[in-house]
Amino acid sequence: MKKILIATTNSHKYDEIVKIFGDEFDLMSLKEFPGIIDEPHEPFETFIENAAHKAMYYAKLANVPVISEDAGFCVEALGNFPGVYSKRFIDESGSLENAFSILEQRLQNFKNKSAFFNCSAVFYDPMNDCLLKSEGLVTGVVR
């Protein structure tokens, strides 16, 4: 069975991915690689570039195929803020609820309250130098 590393430190996200794939693959978590202790920086301005960067980083260290993702919330009137900084914004806000309250306050003087959630996923197989990318958007408004 093909081994694939799921490159996330979020146990809930790992569990969701395992449910999607079922028992078709031998999915491994980062916990199975105790020598990998550092998370890569996410230096890019797009979710897909950060996801690809993470996949290639972990594949180089683990020498197995990797699935990684990057996701976040973007508000059009705020220049797509918080975007790739969504997790940091939520952490600095204290909670998801506080983060949305802050966004609502910042949007008070804007008519355009359009927003979208971006989830970018990447598969990278270092043995074949195969990089597959997928990006999904869910659109809506901040109320």
Residue 18: enclosing H or E segment and its boundaries?
helix 11-21
129 assigned to active site: no
What does the alpha-carbon distance between residue 40 and residue 57 come to, in Å, rounded to a whole number?
A: 7
Q: How many CA atoms lie within 13 A of 80 on its CB side?
A: 13
User: Nearest CA to 28 among 60, 80, 65, 79?
Assistant: 65
Which listed residue (23, 26, 38, 70) is catalytic? 70
Q: Which residues are catalytic?
A: 70
